[in-house]
Amino acid sequence: MDWRYYDTRRISVAVKVEPSLLHDQTRQYNCQGLCTEKIPRDLTEASLSGAGLSILAAFSMIFLFGMELNEYLRVSTSTSIVVDKSSDGDFLRIDFNMSFPALSCEFASVDVSDVLGTNRLNITKTIRKYSIDSRLNPTGSEFHSGAVTKAIKHDEEGDEEYGEGAVSLNGHNFDRLSHQHAILVVNFFAPWCYWSNRLKPSWEKAAKIIRERYDPEIDGRILMGKVDCTEELDLCKRNHIQGYPSIRIFRKGSDVREDHGHHEHESYYGDRDTDTLVKTMENLVAPISLQSRSANNIAAEVKDDAKRPAPSSGGCRIEGFVRVKKVPGNLIISARSASHSFDASQMNMSHVIYQFSFGKKITPRVMSDMKRLLPDLGGSHDRLNGLSYISNPSDSNANVTIEHYLQVVKIEVMTGSHKLVEEYEYTAHNSLVHSLEIPVAKFHYEPSPMQVLITENSQSFSHFITNVCAIIGGVFTVAGILDSILHNTIRLVKKVELGKNF
Three-state secondary-structure class, residue 52: helix
Cβ pair 212, 77 in contact under 8 A:
no
Please name the residues in contact with 178: beta carbons below 8 A apart, sequence gap of 6 or more. Answer: 184, 250, 252, 255, 263
User: Which one from 35, 105, 193, 316 is the annotated catalytic residue?
Assistant: 193
Q: How many CA atoms lie within 13 A of 189 on its CB side?
A: 21
Give the span between the Cα atoms of 363 and 357, in whole angstroms.
13
Integer CA distances (angstroms), 208 to 167, 222, 229, in order: 10, 12, 22
Give the span between the Cα atoms of 152 and 208, in whole angstroms.
22
Cβ pair 405, 447 in contact under 8 A:
no
Residue 379 main-chain phi, psi, to 5 deg = -65, -25
Cβ pair 112, 123 in contact under 8 A:
yes
Paired strand residues for 352: 99, 388
Please name the residues in contact with 208: beta carbons below 8 A apart, sequence gap of 6 or more. Answer: 162, 163, 164, 165
Cβ pair 294, 86 in contact under 8 A:
no
Please name the residues in contact with 388: beta carbons below 8 A apart, sequence gap of 6 or more. Answer: 350, 351, 352, 353
Three-state secondary-structure class, residue 24: helix
Neighbouring CB atoms inside 10 A of 349's CB total 25
Q: State yes or no: is 236 an active-site residue.
A: no
Helix, strand, coil percent values for the chain (each to nearest 5): 30, 35, 35
Residue 492 main-chain phi, psi, to 5 deg = -65, -40
Residue in 351, 355, 316 with CA at minimum distance from that of residue 95: 355
- List, by residue number, the catalytic residues: 193
